[in-house]
Chains A and B, each alone.
Chain A
Amino acid sequence: MKKTIITVVGKDTVGIIAKVCTYLAENGINILDISQTIVQGYFNMMMIVDTAQASKKSAEISEELKALGVEIGVVIKCQKEEIFDMMHRI
């Protein structure tokens, strides 16, 4: 399993999750966990996904999701889990 964290932040609009999930499904990325809140009209989502079976390289997925975010009008980040693990776990 290769865990990656996807975060989506931006103004709430119809179909954000749908578009992100469609991209993930098309590229063989399995969703393990989703949490989401809306604070003062701002959409805030974190997904934990498994990229072990992904059809593309991590850096490429990260670039494409970023571009998808620009298209929808939100900021999408896709980061390997290790950066959070290293910082918050001893």
Chain B
Amino acid sequence: MINFFEVAETNEMIDKENLDVRTITLGISLLDCIDADLEKCKEKIYQKIIKAAGNLVATGEEISREFGIPIVNKRISLTPIALIGGACCKTAEDFVSIAKVLDRAAHEVGVNFIGGYSALVAKGMTKADKLLMASIPEALACTERVCSSVNLGSTRTGINMDAVRMMGSIIKEAAELTKDRDSMGCTKLVVFCNAPDDNPFMAGAFHGVTEADQIINVGVSGPGVVKTALEKVRGESFEVLCETIKKTAFKVTRVGQLVAKEASRRMQVPFGIVDLSLAPTPAIGDSVADILCEIGLERAGAPGTTAALALLNDQVKKGGVMASSYVGGLSGAFIPVSEDQGMIDAVQAGALTLEKLEAMTCVCSVGLDMIAIPGDTKDTTIAGIIADEMAIGMVNQKTTAVRIIPVIGKGVGENVEFGGLLGHAPIMPVNSFGCEQFVNRGGRIPAPIHSFKN
């Protein structure tokens, strides 16, 4: 039977170390909402979301109360809208009108984000893909909860450089349209290489076409729990360090598994995956950078950071995999800047640069995340940054992403405040040398060779 100390340990994690379930994300397929008539299509989408997700928030809150574990977000991911709107949207404005429907549905069911305003263009773009991409800035400016993502490359197909170049300009435009709100639009837009179909985390969640009609995916968190566990093994060997991270990741993930199974049972929707990510928040003590410091670095970004992060990412996966029957999504350690107080401090202290962050993305779970850059950064430079990140993902067969915010009207050294879980960020300098001729070439970078792996 459960003993006193085990109960105390669990509750300590919840009360003092910010253990929580970051999100229950309900994936909903909209493939059966496709219609040649735009109005009919929008009505079908709205009705399907309301019907499927009507009790999502209430179910989440009930589970939270019964088990005494906070469930921070309830979210929805949808089939990429470029596929759904392809038959009826003739202009970018038509797509924007779908985004407004999604936002209205999100408000109606009470979820805090709805993802899937997306296009999958790893190899080429259809007319609908191009229209959706062109509509992203306006869609993000006139909605509150809609999140957008675009998959620009994969290990199997290479990188669609035409789309990369387009996204450089689209990110800039999204920043312009929301410049009165510190370019907030860009915080809801992410580009991927090797995007997973079952990611529960925003802004990049969408419901892949290989998924069932509906599915429950859960994202766990718990950087504070890992940090506290590591405080007890200061100065010990790597073996002890790794074992400690694994055991802690196991415990954290078990909670996610429990919540996922419960949500699945109560909503009568199949359980998809648990995403065993260490997802930081701006709250003190809920930081991945602090774990890196606890491992032995003076600041995140110091020499040794990439190795420490590689170790952390791998041990989180090793511990978490056994704790859940199905693991998926992004699974690993996130390294956003604005959402992690330790990262923010490291940037302000001059320890962490964009280049070091890029190196870290080779071994973390995703990529360049929530990084504020000067508003006058050129479109082509943003496309260059994206291309670098996509190349890392393509060659290393991992998911990489870029969520970067050119803050219009602000420059290096200034601060930007996004609020809530999105946090705040110092604006980071970007290499000022150009890459116009490279990103303007057009076409795509071929897929890498899959043999001769030496």
Contact = CB atoms under 8 A, between A and B. Distances in A.
B1 A80 contact: no
Contact of B258 (A33, A63, A82, A88): A82
A3 to B, nearest CB: 9
Interface in B245-260: 251, 254-255, 257-258
A37 B257 CA distance: 32
Contact of A86 (B7, B8, B9, B255): B255
Interface of B: 1-2, 4, 6-11, 62, 65-69, 251, 254-255, 257-258
Given A7-B7, A80-B66, 7 more contacts: A46-B4, A48-B2, A80-B67, A83-B258, A85-B2, A87-B254, A88-B6
Interface string A35-59: 1010000001010100000000011
Interface string A52-74: 00000011001100000000000
Is chain B's binding surface mostly helix, strand, loop or mixed?
helix
A5 B2 contact: yes
10 contacts: A7-B11, A37-B4, A62-B68, A63-B65, A77-B68, A79-B68, A83-B68, A84-B10, A87-B251, A88-B251
A29 interface: no
A78 B68 contact: yes
Given A59-B62, A87-B10, A79 B67 contact: yes
A82 B67 contact: yes
Contacts of B255: 83, 86-87
B69 A83 contact: yes
B66 A77 contact: no
B7 A5 contact: yes
Contacts of B7: 5, 7, 46, 84
Contacts of B6: 84, 87-88
Contacts of B4: 35, 37, 46
Q: A62, A78, A80, A83: which has the most chain B beta carbons within 10 Å?
A: A83
A42 B284 CA distance: 26
